[in-house]
Amino acid sequence: MKKIAYPLLLALAIGSSVANASELIQNGGFEADGDETYTPSGWMIHEDGAFGGNLVTSGVASPASGYATAGAASGQYYALLDAYAPSQNALIQSFVAPTLTKATLSFSLFANDQSNDGAVHIDGTGLDFTAGLNQHLRVDLLSGNADAFSTGSDVLRTFYLGGATGRSFGDLSNGYIDFSFDVTDLLAAGGTFQLRFASVANVAALQVGIDNVSLNVTAVPEPESWALMLAGIGLIGAVARKRLA
């Protein structure tokens, strides 16, 4: 038994590295940032209209509009898109995906709509606060060179398009909803992409909280990894045959 322990462990270790999963999103829990951070690590913030309401915070009230929020879904910090006047806002991270065999996107999100009826308004112009009634949020996977507020062919898939996650408002906040999506088909060939959380509001204040963003992938093994694993398996076979001889 001692004679096959080492090659067996070698093959198991190589096999584990071949199937090793990795995280593509940086700072998805926003814990790398301090309170009231307007330039979160790994992310880009885009604002048109009212400026200064989009940040990373630990508070339970939006700094710009003053309405209650749910705070962080986990840890201490979360990202907040806080439209307190007519504006459009986006939180975006660009990432490079390898060729892969598995990809899972997940995130936690809450949204508060301070309008009287909470009606969702999606104008045909997209994320444009200067259009007619336009009050909604969306989460999208974009091509690598897409504009921050694009809603055309650069949008590869939309994961959320709508309004608030409940009807709490004022001094009460809606809670988080957890989302998870298999995006293997979109990312399998690899490339550069963008993950976007965006809102547009010209009816009333709108707050969007984001936390626990993750894109976990399993890459296609490099040829050298397969060669090492096969060599290890061959070594096991050779040792086993010698023991049987």
Q: Are residues 50 and 13 in the same domain?
A: no
Q: Please count the structural domains in the chain.
A: 2
Per-residue pLDDT of the chain (245 residues; tens, 9 = 90+): 444 444 444 444 444 444 578 999 999 999 999 999 999 999 999 999 987 789 999 999 998 889 999 999 999 999 999 999 999 999 999 999 999 999 999 999 999 999 999 999 999 999 999 999 999 999 999 999 999 999 999 999 999 999 999 999 888 999 999 999 999 999 999 999 999 999 999 999 999 999 999 999 999 886 544 333 434 444 455 445 555 55
* CATH for 78: 2.60.120.260
So what's the pLDDT on residue 182?
Answer: 98
Q: Are residues 72 and 116 in the same domain?
A: yes
So what's the pLDDT on residue 238?
Answer: 47
Q: Are residues 181 and 81 in the same domain?
A: yes
**CA-based nearest residue to 113, from 91, 140, 134, 141:** 134
Q: Are residues 102 and 191 in the same domain?
A: yes
Domain that holds residue 63: 22-220
- Helices 2-18, 223-244: axis angle to 10 degrees equals 160
Query: From the CB of residue 143, how many other CB atoms can be counted at a distance below 10 Å?
Result: 14
Q: Are residues 149 and 195 in the same domain?
A: yes
Q: Are residues 227 and 207 in the same domain?
A: no
Prediction pTM value: 0.84
So what's the pLDDT on residue 21?
Answer: 82
SS3 6: helix
So what's the pLDDT on residue 241?
Answer: 53
Q: Are residues 48 and 2 in the same domain?
A: no
Q: Are residues 51 and 116 in the same domain?
A: yes
Q: Are residues 227 and 209 in the same domain?
A: no
**CA-based nearest residue to 86, from 148, 143, 135:** 135
Q: Are residues 216 and 226 in the same domain?
A: no
Q: Are residues 8 and 28 in the same domain?
A: no
So what's the pLDDT on residue 14?
Answer: 44
Q: Are residues 184 and 235 in the same domain?
A: no
Instruction: Supply 78's token pair.
Output: 């979360």
